[in-house]
Amino acid sequence: MKHFPLLIILGLLPHSLVAQLPMGADLYKQLCVECHGTRLEGNKAAPLIKENWLYGRDRTRMIRNMKHGIPNTTMIAWGTVLSDKQIESLYDFIVEAQTTPIEASKPIPEKLETEEYKLKLEVLVDDQLNTPWSIEFVNEHRALVTEKPGRLRWLIDGELDPRPIDGLPQIFLRGGLMDVALDPEYEINGWIYLAHAHALDHPDSRQARAMTRIIRGRIEGHEWTHSEVIFQVPQDRYHSGGNRWGGRLLLDDKYLYFSIGDMSRGDASQDPTQPNGKTYRIHHDGSIPKNNPFLDIERAIEAVYSLGNRNVQGFSIHPETGEIWMTEHGPMGGDELNILKNGNNYGWPVITYGKDYSGDVVSTQTHKEGMEQPVTQWTPSIAVCATEFNTSPLFPRWKNNLFVGALAFEELRRLVIEDNQVVHQEVLLKGYGRVRDQKIGPDGALYVILNEPGSIVRLTPDP
């Protein structure tokens, strides 16, 4: 029995003997003690009794890590030899050994020290929101916050208005309500833009034919008014099932950019006639720019701006160059940071640095002529999310740094960029919840939207 781990790693243990391996604690003793210690205290590898789970602490991700391994680490893929039941028993044993629940986020501290600043953290909204997705400031007193289940809320002087905005169109809850953005001339025209999942039929069913849709409207008191559909794909190109909706918005003086994810149909990301896996560009009123790149292709969706984008979750305009930077979810590995350009192909699923959640190979290629390479990529996948370039006078030493959120890794990162290259990364927040969005407010503070718990945190320098 003492040679089982080596034989398993080498793939030399007969399946009949693998099936005889014990479960839970006994299985841990056979396979894991040498690396992680007899009491999970760590040995050749990291301890397993801890609060800081670097690679995600939810059940799904932890079991996936054990089953498929963690790229660029010593964690091997136990799923090649162990059954799902055996791996789940290992997970249960590790969870039961913890002194604090794995599912619990760390309490948010009042102060935090980073490389450049000591920060003051203020929890404005403490677990009062259900999967908040986006925050957008209207003025120095008010911000709009979206919740994925379909609510749009006011944050007024740092306090959450208990009454949501009435009159929104029906939201397909599988994709939910996503981003909110303001027209550059909002103070004149009052237009507010929303991205949401829209179902053609059976809106309460997972099998509903649905797709990401863009609308705009105005708010009068607590009422959504003057609602207009700005973008909707033809109904014959809606899909049932699937996942990865995109839904991030960006407006500049001329255009509205937005994303639609691949909806679990990766190959469609390379086809300009299909809505999946793209970024889009339209005018603020929904009309199509005459220099969009795929107008001459028969049946192409005229608003398509780039191809091969698995699931863009962040857009931000560089304060000096005016270039649009975007973050994109990979599968297991291969999250990307890219610069958006007219007509570019970003490669998914033809080239990728990740593999499928099943452990299968998506593609053996990471490079191909005519397809863009990311500025940087994250493997293991951090589940990269929203982006925000720092323009705040409160953080001059972070001038033009890029803030990047991460869902699975529960991180807020600061990226230093020089000559369109990431030259340094610092993790500012870790383990306080899934970082869904972040924005520089009119007061110069950095506002961070967390999921699990559904909270809003304000960051300022601590004098």
pLDDT tens for the chain, residues 1 to 463: 344 554 444 444 455 555 556 788 888 988 888 889 988 998 888 899 988 888 888 888 889 889 988 877 888 888 888 889 999 999 999 999 988 888 778 899 999 999 999 999 999 999 999 999 999 999 999 999 999 999 999 999 999 999 999 999 999 999 999 999 999 999 999 999 999 999 998 777 778 999 999 999 999 989 999 999 999 999 999 999 889 999 999 999 999 999 999 999 999 999 999 999 999 999 999 999 999 999 999 999 999 999 999 999 999 999 999 999 999 999 999 999 999 999 999 999 999 999 998 888 999 999 999 999 999 999 999 999 999 999 999 999 999 999 999 999 999 999 999 999 999 999 999 999 999 999 999 999 999 999 999 999 999 999 8
Same domain, 160 and 67: no
Q: 392 — phi, psi (to 5°)?
A: -80, 135
Can you give the CATH number for the domain in which 155 is found? Answer: 2.120.10.30
Same domain, 86 and 134: no
Among residues 96, 126, 143, the one where a domain terminates is 96
Same domain, 165 and 196: yes
Query: What's the pLDDT tens digit per position in 191-229?
Result: 999 999 999 987 777 789 999 999 999 999 899 999 999
Q: Is 105 a member of any domain?
A: no
Beta bridge partners of 147: 132, 151
| Predicted TM-score (pTM) of this structure | 0.90
Q: Which 3 state secondary structure label does DSSP give 24?
A: helix
Same domain, 183 and 329: yes
Q: What is the dihedral of CA 301, 302, 305, 307, to 10 degrees?
A: 30
> Locate tokens 């309460």: which residue?
204
Same domain, 412 and 448: yes
Same domain, 51 and 134: no
Q: Which 3 state secondary structure label does DSSP give 236?
A: helix
Q: Return the DSSP state at 164.
A: P
Beta bridge partners of 404: 387, 413
| Domain extent for 273 | 111-461
Is the bond leading into 349 cis (omega within 30 degrees of zero)? yes
Into how many domains does the chain fold? 2
- d(Cα 307, Cα 434) in Å, to the nearest integer? 28
Same domain, 117 and 88: no
CB 452 within 8 A of CB 105: yes
Query: What's the pLDDT tens digit per position in 346-398?
Result: 999 999 999 998 888 999 999 999 999 999 999 999 999 999 999 999 999 99
Same domain, 127 and 51: no
Q: Is 291 a member of any domain?
A: yes
Angle ∠(135,325,440) on CA atoms, nearest 5: 30
Can you give the CATH number for the domain in which 75 is found? Answer: 1.10.760.10
Among residues 46, 73, 96, the one where a domain terminates is 96
Query: What's the pLDDT tens digit per position in 406-421?
Result: 999 999 999 999 999 9
Q: 61 — phi, psi (to 5°)?
A: -70, -40
Among residues 49, 71, 96, the one where a domain terminates is 96
Beta bridge partners of 136: 144
Q: Return the DSSP state at 307.
A: B
Same domain, 391 and 437: yes
Q: Is 101 a member of any domain?
A: no
DSSP string, 114-156: -SS-EEEEEEEE-S-SSSEEEEEESSSSEEEEEETTTEEEEEE
Is the bond leading into 453 cis (omega within 30 degrees of zero)? yes
Same domain, 87 and 149: no
